[in-house]
Amino acid sequence: MRKHPSSMMAVLAILMLILAACTGGGESPAASESEAASESAAESAAASESQAASVDFKACMVSDVGGIDDNSFNENAWKGMEDAQADLGVEVTFLESRSAEDYARNIDQHVADGCDMIVTVGYLLGDATAAAAEANPDIRFAIVDFAYDPALPNVEGLVFNTAEAAMLAGYASASWSKTGVMGTFGGINIGPGVTDFMDGFIAGANYWNEEQGADVRVLGGRDPNDSASGSFTGNFESTDDAKNLTSDMLQE
C-alpha cells in the first residue's frame, strides 16, 4: 500500500493534541533576549542527550486490520505515537485489530485501561469510535482518515485531500509512461477513502492528455456515476490478490 499523506498530518495533529493536554496554561515573565537564547540552547542540548521526562498522560492507539507494520496509515500513526513518547514523555500503547469485530473491543479495552486519549486509524473504525466517544465524553479521541459531520466535541478527525495528491501522481505518471497505458486499483470499494486515490490519479492522467494532446489510458478506472465500477482486490491484506490484479493489467 502507498503511504498516505494524511498519516503525516495525523502525526503532527497527534503531537499537538498531546502537547496541549500535557502542558499547563498561564504566562511567565518575559526573559531578556540573551536569557532566552541561553535557555533555548540549554534545552536543545538536553533534548539531544535524553528523552523527555515522563508525564502523567497515556495515549493509546487502535489499528485497522492492516496492523502497525502496514507501510501506510497504521505504521505512520504509530510512529507519531512513538515520537510523542520520545519528545513529550507520554506513555503510549497500541492494540492491533485482526478483524472488524476487534474495533469496538479494542477501543473499550483502552477505555478500561484508563487511556487519556485514544487514536483510531481508518474510516472503518468510524462507527466504533463515535460510539465510544459519545459514551466517554471525558476521553479525547482522534481518528485518522475520517471526520464526522456534525463534528463530535471530543473527537478530532484527521483527514487530507487525497484526490489532490493523487492527481499529481497521475499527471506525473502519465508524463513518464512509455506505453500510453497505466493502471489503478483499490482495496475495498469504499469512498471516499479508497476511491479518492483512484479518481485523483485518473484526473491527473486526463489533465496530462488535455495539456499535451496525448491519449494515455488508465486501466481499472472508475466511472464516478457508477459506484460498482473500477478494479478492487476486495481486501486490504492480500498482497497475492494485488499481485494477480497487477499481472492481469500488465497483460493488457
What is the DSSP track for 4-56?
PHHHHHHHHHHHHHHHHHHS-----PPPPHHHHHHHHHHHHHHHHHSPPPP-S
Structural domains of the chain in order of their starting residue, each with its CATH number: 5-20+52-158 (3.40.50.2300), 162-251 (3.40.50.2300)
Torsion of CA 175, 216, 189, 168, to 10 degrees: 20
What would the pLDDT profile of 157-188 be if each residue is shown by its tens digit? Answer: 998 888 999 999 999 999 999 999 999 999 98
What is the pLDDT at residue 236?
A: 81
What is the pLDDT at residue 39?
A: 54
Please tell me the distance from the alpha carbon of residue 115 to that of residue 207, in angstroms, as a whole number.
Answer: 47
DSSP secondary structure letter of residue 57: -
User: 82 near 16, Cβ under 8 Å?
Assistant: no
What is the pLDDT at residue 175?
A: 97
Q: Cβ of 164: how many Cβ atoms within 10 Å?
A: 13
Query: What are the start-end ranges of the H helices in the chain?
Result: 5-22, 33-49, 73-88, 102-112, 126-135, 162-176, 195-212, 239-251
The grid coordinates listed for 232 are 478492487
Please tell me the distance from the alpha carbon of residue 157 to that of residue 122, in angstroms, as a whole number.
Answer: 10
pTM of the shown model: 0.65
Nearest to 162 by CA among 122, 198, 197, 187: 197
Residue numbers of the chain with a pLDDT score lower than 50: 1-8, 10-12, 18-34, 37-38, 41-42, 44-45, 47-49
What is the pLDDT at residue 201?
A: 95
67 burial level (CB within 10 Å; 0-12, 13-18, 19+): middle
User: 201 near 166, Cβ under 8 Å?
Assistant: yes
Residues 6+ apart with CB under 8 A from 99: 65
What is the pLDDT at residue 26?
A: 45
Q: Cβ of 118: how many Cβ atoms within 10 Å?
A: 28
User: 99 near 114, Cβ under 8 Å?
Assistant: no
